[in-house]
Structure 1
């Protein structure tokens, strides 16, 4: 089924509606004008019939024949189309006595003072006429060729030309208008898409016009300024809190470690070591928050270097293979040659986070693949519903079925920040079963993408 967008519907429906309205108006106007002209013709013909009747009554039959012959001759042109007035006087049997009409029309009934219309077989013109019956059933027909029929045909021809011209102009104008509108809305949509992918400093291009769309653009840009300011404030605040608390918590951990050494092999030592584990987790969260804040704010200076992605991913797999074996699982690696310029430490951390998530929240073997500048990590668990895939990329978001497991909800958020700082993209796909996470990095060796 062909789907027509609103702009195309506007371009089609507007001139079509206008055309239908004008055609209806023209049809009604033509009909009313035609009826009025016929009525005027008939009134003039009756006046002429009355005058001829008076001549007949006062001067006799011979005088009537002479007058009809004279008037018919005066109104007869070189061709039938040039004859405007039509006269015909016949006897009771229909034989012609005078006039410029060849014979009595077959469709015209001989009724006294009757009005009629018929088509002249010689010219095809419509004739409006009035019939008058004389003494001894003689018939007198006086008519006029309906020149308005010719005028009407010319009018309809001109109207068709006008409508065709107006239709072309309206289509071109509508296309030009909707094209401009589509381009302006396209710029808004493209900017919104870039903002949705994390480029919060993007703004919709503004023009000097002052129409409703431009006022909407200005309001949206002001709203985006406020949103960016609030997000920057939130990032700065969270980073500041994490930075300020990291040092006292580190000192607290050191004190707990000293206390654990002093406690010796006692139950108190186990409790202190458990508290150390909790504090280690808190420190990891703070470290992730600080790194995420620096990446999103563009304050982290990436150290680009030519990197063999296959080798980098292989190192990350080797790091997690003992954990997978302890779970009775395997990490399957498939690589193709691929080199690009990246920050090795950050990309290593991103891949490690993905493998860790697959082992922590997935099931079955973990499949890791490298193809040129694309890295993919797939598990065989329940996956993530499509409606939640964008949400899990937000900071501290954890799905209900993973809340019972250790974690902070920052892993995927940090991975996306790392990939986007390199100018790449992160996508989550349904692996059926399981979840596949794809990292797409710039493929050219030596590329330098500003964070």
Structure 2
């Protein structure tokens, strides 16, 4: 229901139904005013006028003359049927054509049922009656039949309820159907977009051939995606060729530098220069390799080799690998994970991601601090996290540290090339996972969260 209410087509249909109901209400309100309110006001004025005239006649001519006038009034056939009742001060009924009335008069005008019978059939009447006591204690009731007006009012009220009810029902039904139909077409666009976002550039929007707005939009998007795919493939070919062409010269350069280092003999200055050149060339080769791997991971061209993995064993291997470095830096390396903890992961990629996180944590944590490597599993996800007690990270840097070659303002003195977290983000993307950096007060906590569909049930 919440998703339905968020649908634009459903909301627009409800707005249209609401405007239609408002229009119907205005029309029926106008009809009610013309067919009920105006005639009822006219009848009220007439009854009040007659009641004043007959009251004056009673005071001037007495009960007998008033009773005769009431009987003559009842015999007239012009206009709506007239009703009356004259009750003497002692309670005796002098004259009447009303079947009944209340024990005591009410202020103003009132409606009284005045049904009659003719040839065994009941004739419905509603009398609008003015009911007052006279100065001598007599009681005078003067009325007119308003059955047509009250029947009209009841018909209009019933019609309004049904029309508005059916309109609301049709509005909800048509809104649901329109939302369903439009939602399916939009979902086709969404699926194609997500397929492309996941690295599959062959994703296209399904076109039904109806030549409607959605088909034209789908055709335009498909043309755009085809153009993007061709451009991206051209860039891939250029980058792959460039990487291939750079690897060979780099390998030759490193080989010749190593030969030069061996040939330096007793020349320490030449040996040092050659050694430094070899280090920089190897660093350049590593950067090139990392860039290519990040690109392949981000573009979905690096197939995952998922295997059933003992996560705790993976973390134990990492701790064992980095324990000497942590001891050298005076940092306490802690493992927080409990078996059984099993997941289907690309072991090499996850090992590299956690290695990069641990390497960063050890570089940024000061001596005497601690670094914690943890893993926990909930119903829908597996979380692998690295936490340190270092200086943490600025909020401005947190949103950019996964960019290639970006280094925070406080990282100038720390060795690195700015590709570690970029690699972690690419590995997270390949696993359909999320990467979150959060303050640990003090320090930084980096969590890799893998969704349920990537987990193994063991």
Give the distance between the partners of 2:343 and 2:163, measured in 1 at CA. 64
User: Within 5 A, what are the aligned runs for 1:14-29?
Assistant: 14-29=16-31
Tell me the matched-pair count: 405
Q: Which segments of 5 or more consecutive residues in structure 1 lack a partner in the other structure?
A: 43-64, 77-82, 91-95, 108-116, 130-140, 447-451
User: Within 5 A, what are the aligned runs for 1:61-140?
Assistant: 84-86=80-82, 121=112, 123=114, 125=126
User: Within 5 A, what are the aligned runs for 1:187-226?
Assistant: 188=189, 192=193, 196=197, 202-226=203-227
1:39–1:376 distance in 2 versus 1, CA, 3 Å: closer
The alpha-carbon deviation at position 244 of structure 1 amounts to 0.8
1:379–1:436: 8 Å Cα contact kept in structure 2? no
1:73–1:100: 8 Å Cα contact kept in structure 2? no
1:199–1:391 distance in 2 versus 1, CA, 3 Å: farther
Equivalent residue, structure 1, for 2:448: 438
1:224–1:74 distance in 2 versus 1, CA, 3 Å: same
The alpha-carbon deviation at position 360 of structure 1 amounts to 3.1
The question of 1:402 aligning with 2:407 is answered no
Which of 316, 322, 325 does residue 323 from structure 1 map onto?
325
The alpha-carbon deviation at position 285 of structure 1 amounts to 0.9
2:111–2:127: 8 Å Cα contact kept in structure 1? yes
The alpha-carbon deviation at position 410 of structure 1 amounts to 2.8
The alpha-carbon deviation at position 427 of structure 1 amounts to 1.8
Equivalent residue, structure 1, for 2:387: 378
1:306–1:445: 8 Å Cα contact kept in structure 2? no
Equivalent residue, structure 2, for 1:56: none
Equivalent residue, structure 2, for 1:161: 162
Q: Which has the higher contact order (CA 8 A, sep 6+)?
A: 2
1:4–1:348 distance in 2 versus 1, CA, 3 Å: closer
Q: Per the alignment, in what secondary structure is the counterpart of residue 417 of structure 2?
A: coil
The alpha-carbon deviation at position 10 of structure 1 amounts to 4.7
Q: Which segments of 5 or more consecutive residues in structure 2 lack a partner in the other structure?
A: 45-66, 87-92, 115-124, 131-141
Equivalent residue, structure 2, for 1:359: 362
When normalised by structure 1's length, the TM-score is 0.68
Give the distance between the partners of 1:209 and 1:3, measured in 2 at CA. 27
Equivalent residue, structure 2, for 1:415: 424
Equivalent residue, structure 1, for 2:436: 428
RMSD of Structure 2 on Structure 1 (CA): 5.2
1:125–1:171 distance in 2 versus 1, CA, 3 Å: same
The alpha-carbon deviation at position 169 of structure 1 amounts to 2.0
1:150–1:282 distance in 2 versus 1, CA, 3 Å: same
Equivalent residue, structure 1, for 2:260: 259
Q: Deviations over 1:77-127 (max 9, x none)?
A: xxxxxx95338899xxxxx99996799xx99xxxxxxxxx96564537356
User: Which stretch shifts more, 369-378 or 241-250?
Assistant: 369-378
